[in-house]
């Protein structure tokens, strides 16, 4: 997946130009992967979103769990 930096230094998806979320479970000395969370985007990688990553970013646990479940449901529907 190609990505680019904006002037605000927020990583955005080249498919939909929306901000992406870091995939903290892939963190290593070189950085981490990034997930597009925009439903319908060709680069959508929301199925890789894990509640633990969102919680580490400061999202409340109950919201993080719902986001993870929603992302997985969308991926199942897209099949």
Domain extent for 73: 3-78
Question: What is residue 69's DSSP assignment?
Answer: H
Residue 12's Cβ-count burial label (10 Å; 0-12, 13-18, 19+) is: middle
Prediction pTM value: 0.63
Give yes or no for residue 37 having a pLDDT over 60.
yes
Tens of pLDDT, residue by residue over 51-61, are: 888 888 888 99
Can you tell me the mean pLDDT for 11-19? 88
Residue 47 DSSP code: G
- Residue 79 pLDDT grade (very low, low, confident, very high; cuts 50, 70, 90): low
Domain count, the chain: 1
Contact 4, 14 (CB under 8 A): yes
| Predicted pLDDT at 58 | 85
CA 26, 63, 65, 36 torsion-angle sign: negative
């Amino acid at each position: 997946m190609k990505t680019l930096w904006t002037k605000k230094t927020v990583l955005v998806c080249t498919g939909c130009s929306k901000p992406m979320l870091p995939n903290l479970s892939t963190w290593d000395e070189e950085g981490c992967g990034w997930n597009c969370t925009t439903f319908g985007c060709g680069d959508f990688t929301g199925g890789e979103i894990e509640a633990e990553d969102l919680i580490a970013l400061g999202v409340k646990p109950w919201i993080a769990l719902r986001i993870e479940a929603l992302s997985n449901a969308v991926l199942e529907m897209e099949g």
